[in-house]
């Protein structure tokens, strides 16, 4: 069985996503290595807000989805302004925030927040993966939601 990171990278390739805007960090290393291995360009920024604003700009210029990838907790909250801006501008941004393993859910783990609840008011659609097997479906659904009807931001 492929890892979640491998499923993530394959899903992006299948959708034609060629760049990932991110702030490189330990929590994302496995996913970033996987996307690099399949030839996706990793664009490293200095702050999560810059990550989502850059991905938003890329999506607006190309009129197709761009992907931002940040860590959970404070990384997610730092990215919310860019996500909201993208959605208000009808920009097809796919914003992905990391999260701790499901086994730690509800245990008041350091820097864990309800990211879907925080993102829902400022996006077209938001969801969280509960298993690695859901990743291809969620990435595909995010792409479809970001581009259908009035384009806008989505969050996983």
What pLDDT tens digit does each residue of the chain (156 aa) get?
899 999 999 999 999 999 999 999 888 999 999 999 999 999 999 999 999 999 999 999 999 999 999 999 999 999 999 999 999 999 999 999 998 766 666 666 667 788 999 999 999 999 999 999 999 999 999 999 999 999 999 999
With b for 16 or more beta-carbon neighbours within 10 A and e for fewer, the 101-118 pattern comes to eeeeeeeeeeeeeebbeb
Give residue 25's pLDDT. 82
Give residue 105's pLDDT. 61
Q: Give the architecture (CATH level 2) of 4-155.
A: 3-Layer(aba) Sandwich (3.40)
Q: How far apart are alpha carbons 109 and 60 in whole angstroms?
A: 36
Give residue 99's pLDDT. 82
């Amino acid at each position: 069985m492929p890892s979640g990171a491998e499923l993530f990278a394959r899903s992006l390739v299948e959708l034609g996503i060629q760049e990932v805007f991110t702030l490189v960090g330990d929590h994302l290393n496995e996913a970033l290595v996987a996307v690099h291995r399949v030839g996706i360009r990793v664009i490293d920024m200095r702050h999560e807000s810059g990550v989502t604003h850059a991905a938003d700009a890329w999506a607006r210029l190309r009129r197709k989805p761009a992907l931002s990838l940040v860590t959970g907790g404070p990384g997610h909250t730092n990215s919310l302004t860019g996500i909201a801006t993208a959605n208000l501008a009808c920009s097809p941004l796919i914003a992905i925030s990391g999260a701790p393993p499901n086994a730690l859910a509800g245990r008041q783990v350091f820097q864990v927040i309800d990211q879907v609840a925080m993102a829902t008011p400022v996006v077209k659609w938001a969801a969280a993966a509960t298993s690695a097997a859901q990743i291809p479906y969620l990435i595909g659904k995010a792409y479809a939601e970001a581009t259908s009807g009035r384009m806008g931001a989505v969050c996983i």
